[in-house]
Chains A and B, each alone.
Chain A
């Protein structure tokens, strides 16, 4: 170990880039998540419980055929968003609880930490969507006319969810009353994304063609803006 010009100690002698540090943090988080499976279990169990409750009380025939594309899109996104909100804060709360926050501050640059945690949250969201969306389609008999557009909406919607919540997770990890606070702070930021994603999924399921998939583009723009702003603001809350 030796200090760099700025006086910061780095663990590697080879010069590390932002991306390599971010990937290192991402892989470390995945490894520790694989050992405990705390975040993934809580997110998936929350999602499955909600899905079963919705499916049991509505079933696949209760709603009129013509109403289904819209109502099913609403239900699907409510399940996805609230399951994500139940577990995504773990990525930073974990560091705070195990007391590894200070070591992490010393061993990587703030933007790299943010990117690593963002990759980890996106991985969690990917796992969640891969399991819940097919299960929802099967259980509810959800017919989708444009599968390509639907998949694109799920991918960009997931990106937006991760982008909008990671910075909030970093803040609430350092506050009191973490669990309830995370949903309360994230939800207003996510609402434009949720409205867009519901509209986009509905359109894909109905099969109403719109040139250029506008909702997919809006969700992608939301994700890009939130990631950019978060990268700029993250050092402020990280180096306090």
Chain B
């Protein structure tokens, strides 16, 4: 409960500060550079969630502990949500700076690939009736899909050059001013905190559903 309240206050502070306190970055028309504080943390959380899901799947395949699969499933679902939000916000930014919502920039290509892979992951989960088999298949598929990701990172950028801003809006670049950097990191923490809160809720929900189903089946 206290975690929820602190998270709410923290997120509100960050949102207010990035609109009222931080100046927009140079080299971008109008206010569009403020997307940095929302779009990048979403993409970061999506990456974190998919990675966590892959690791939890591997743990499930080795130990066969059901909790690991609950974590894998919840993490994949939240990753999908944040990935979708990152796609939408990125697309709005693309319209504002490059002039079109969609132009198959390498970044857009790889994010759509991720959405397709995890879309297929959920389809596979819903199509296998047996619980144990479903968990194993989902784990196997997510590892298999993870192995194609290096090809996306190395192959797709060979084909076209990216318009995605890397220099002035990259936190690793010394060109970013200190005020922006502080609030960017604050926003990153806020989004990660939000993800952890949602993940715990989702895992608890799956655990309760599983218990109810077991109780229901044991009646017969």
A residues within 8 Å of B by Cβ?
164, 167-168, 171-172, 174-177, 181, 184-185, 187-189, 191-193, 195-196, 199, 214, 218, 222, 225-226, 229-230, 233, 236-237, 240
CB distance from A208 to the nearest CB of B (A): 14
A192-B155, A237-B136 known; A175 vs B128 contact (CB < 8 Å): yes
CA gap between A199 and B141 in the complex, in Å = 27
B123 contacts A189, C-beta separation under 8 Å: no
CB distance from A169 to the nearest CB of B (A): 12
Q: Which residue of A lies closest to B139 (CB)?
A: A236
A192-B152, A222-B151, A226-B147 known; A236 vs B117 contact (CB < 8 Å): no
Looking at chain A's contact residues, the main secondary structure is helix
CA gap between A239 and B133 in the complex, in Å = 10
CB distance from B70 to the nearest CB of A (A): 19
B-side contacts of A177, CB under 8 Å: 127
* Residue among B116, B127, B145, B152 facing the most chain A CB atoms (10 A cut-off): B127
B-side contacts of A191, CB under 8 Å: 113, 116, 148
A229 contacts B137, C-beta separation under 8 Å: no
> Residue-by-residue, is B136-174 near A (CB-CB < 8 Å gives 1, otherwise 0)?
110111011101100110011011000000000000000
CB distance from B58 to the nearest CB of A (A): 11
A181 contacts B123, C-beta separation under 8 Å: yes
CA gap between A233 and B120 in the complex, in Å = 18
B144 contacts A196, C-beta separation under 8 Å: no
CA gap between A233 and B158 in the complex, in Å = 30
* Residue among B132, B144, B145, B159 facing the most chain A CB atoms (10 A cut-off): B144
A189-B145, A237-B140, A240-B132 known; A196 vs B124 contact (CB < 8 Å): no
Contacts beyond the supplied A188-B117, A191-B148: 11 A-B pairs with Cβ under 8 Å: A164-B148, A167-B140, A175-B127, A185-B141, A187-B120, A188-B116, A188-B119, A189-B117, A195-B155, A196-B155, A233-B143
A192 contacts B141, C-beta separation under 8 Å: no
CB distance from A178 to the nearest CB of B (A): 9
Looking at chain B's contact residues, the main secondary structure is helix
User: Which single member of A171, A172, A189 contacts B148 (CB below 8 Å)?
Assistant: A189
8 Å CB interface, B12-47 against A = none
CA gap between A218 and B151 in the complex, in Å = 8
A-side contacts of B147, CB under 8 Å: 225-226, 229
Q: List 8 A-B contacts (CB under 8 A).
A: A171-B137, A185-B123, A185-B141, A187-B116, A187-B120, A188-B119, A195-B159, A236-B61
User: Which single member of B129, B143, B145 contacts A188 (CB below 8 Å)?
Assistant: B145
Q: Which residue of A lies closest to B129 (CB)?
A: A176
A-side contacts of B123, CB under 8 Å: 181, 184-185
A-side contacts of B116, CB under 8 Å: 187-188, 191
CA gap between A164 and B116 in the complex, in Å = 16
B120 contacts A218, C-beta separation under 8 Å: no
CB distance from B87 to the nearest CB of A (A): 15
* Residue among A175, A225, A236, A237 facing the most chain B CB atoms (10 A cut-off): A175
9 closest Cβ contacts across the A-B interface? A192-B151, A188-B116, A188-B117, A175-B127, A175-B128, A233-B140, A185-B120, A176-B127, A229-B147
A229 contacts B144, C-beta separation under 8 Å: yes
CB distance from B96 to the nearest CB of A (A): 28
CA gap between A109 and B158 in the complex, in Å = 41
